[in-house]
Amino acid sequence: MVDTRVTLSGIELANPVIPASGAFGFGYEFAELYDINILGSISFKGTTKEPRFGNPTPRIAEASAGLLNSVGLQNPGVNKVISEELPKLKKCFNKPVLANVSGFSVEDYAYTCEKLDTEDCIGWFEINISCPNVHGGGLAFGTDPKNAAAVTRAVKKVTNKPVYIKLSPNVTDITEIAKACEAAGADGLSLINTLLGMRIDLKTKKPVLTNKTGGFSGPAVKPVALRMVYDVYEAVKIPIIGMGGISTAEDVIEMMLAGARATEVGAANLIEPFACKNIIENLPAVMEKYNIKSLNEIIGGAHNG
């Protein structure tokens, strides 16, 4: 028997497979397809202080070996997430979840996390710092170490739950941001968020997305994600949730060898609704194939050569 269990900041997961925020809604939609309690956890849809309609359509576009999206953090706002969405999730999922939080100022992040902090189903916070800082000229929090640290400190002040900062890959040196978050008190890191990309319609000769650019995800980004997880693992001592192009059990193991303690599956859920279920079911056989008895033993294994 192989052991698929992993631990994130003191909380045990039956396996390291977590649907990524934005690709799994609030979870209960997928519960109509299969028992989602087989999942390690769920990172639910990015939540902001106020309701957001999101960006105008079209805001999704296919690309070679991936997907572009500029949904724009569409969500009903933290109050309705608490009163409507989380009660539905609790009815079909009985494990701790990651609360993915976005904001447009440091105060936004702190407000939303403080509101969510009393929800007993939340095991960790996952803070998306790829949002534009409206008080800082629109530069994303995740592209500046000082801004990333400021958000980290603000959230840590309003919760005792583990805080994971979700890092943007759209930077010169992701380890600089990672170290700033660790120094500011982050309990862990999630990476990578989507890469900035675009597509152009040959008929109209204009960008396909109304927003012109969007976040690129899917299999094509996996080599970039692996490299960044590998680099960050060497730069910090806090745990990492790795993501970016994961769609198979083999991908999960590869990401863990790079340094991830758990993994998130994003775009694959939009292509194949049973993606996470398939990965979890295939994981034991793949572990046996590569003579892996426990996933805990392989975390960062690629650094031992």
Catalytic residue IDs: 131
Locus of tokens 């309705």: 80
How many other β-carbons are positioned within 10 Å of the β-carbon of residue 240?
Answer: 29
The 3 state secondary structure assigned to 94-128 is: CCCEEEEECCCCHHHHHHHHHHHCCCCCEEEEEEE
Q: Say how many CA atoms lie within 13 Å of 157 toward its Cβ.
A: 13
Residue 147: phi, psi to the nearest 5? -65, -40
Contact 273, 26 (CB under 8 A): no
- 3-state SS assignment for residue 34: coil
Picking from 245, 246, 228, 149, the residue whose alpha carbon sits closest to that of residue 190 is 228
| 125 vs 140: CA distance, rounded Å | 19
Amino acid at 287: M
3-state helix, strand, coil in the chain (%, to 5): 35, 20, 40
